[in-house]
Structure 1
């Protein structure tokens, strides 16, 4: 079992397993390559948006997104939102998800976030609770499509 490196997403990762790893959440590997590069450039230019990846032997095997939101409440405080936590099924059980989450939680803390929140399904709640997350509300969703 090789050690994973956690770091920020790079443009070359689009062709190096990143999009394929997202397929575990929703099909992403079939996106037009030029559109994927446009999305990367937009995200990469936003300092409030971080995508962290786990790399093993040159291949991306997991990722997570952090978006930092500025508030008027809490004296203009910042809230971290975590989305799209995914680890390739072949690499689960190696604490990769935990390492990615801790990496992003540290970024959120260093950016001055007073809290970091995420939504998850009941089956993965224990994973997040082990990291210190607590259930405080219910998610409701409105689908526009």
Structure 2
């Protein structure tokens, strides 16, 4: 069995499994190609917005996003925020999610983050706890629509 390559998102990944992988979270593969490319360019221009992917046999099968936030507190410290962790369901059980998470946690550490946080549902909490995350607070959400 091949091992996934964990790396940052490239433009050519957008139509090579990336959007289809995101479909497991919310339908993304139906976005217009030109719009997807504009979004990529905007995200790619921000060094504090990192999208990591897992490439397996030439196709993107997993992804997550790391956002780095500069703070005034903690003497100007920085915090990592993890979003949109997903692995294509056909590739579950191969530790791809764990590898992507370790990759972005290493980036956060190297960027000087004093903590990295994420929100998740109860059903996936054990996955994150196994990686060293601890439950600290409750998530609340305000929908603007």
- Report the TM-score, using the length of structure 2 for normalisation: 0.99
Deviations 1:74-123, CA, capped at 9 Å, x for gaps = 00100000000000000011000000000000000000000000000000
Aligned length: 145
Deviations 1:47-96, CA, capped at 9 Å, x for gaps = 10100000001000000000000011000100000000000000011000
> How far is 1:7 from its partner?
0.3
1:123 and 2:123 correspond: yes
**Over the residues paired in the alignment, what is the CA RMSD in angstroms?**
0.4
Distance in 1 between residues matched to 2:77 and 2:35, nearest whole Å: 33
2:32 aligns to what?
Answer: 32
Unaligned runs of 5+ in 1: none
2:103 aligns to what?
Answer: 103
1:140 and 2:140 correspond: yes
1:48 aligns to what?
Answer: 48
Deviations 1:110-142, CA, capped at 9 Å, x for gaps = 000000000000000000000000000000000
Instruction: Point out 4+ residue stretches in structure 1 off by more than 4 angstroms.
Output: none
1:60 aligns to what?
Answer: 60
- Report the TM-score, using the length of structure 1 for normalisation: 0.99
Unaligned runs of 5+ in 2: none
> How far is 1:40 from its partner?
0.4
> How far is 1:2 from its partner?
1.7
Distance in 2 between residues matched to 1:119 and 1:35, nearest whole Å: 27
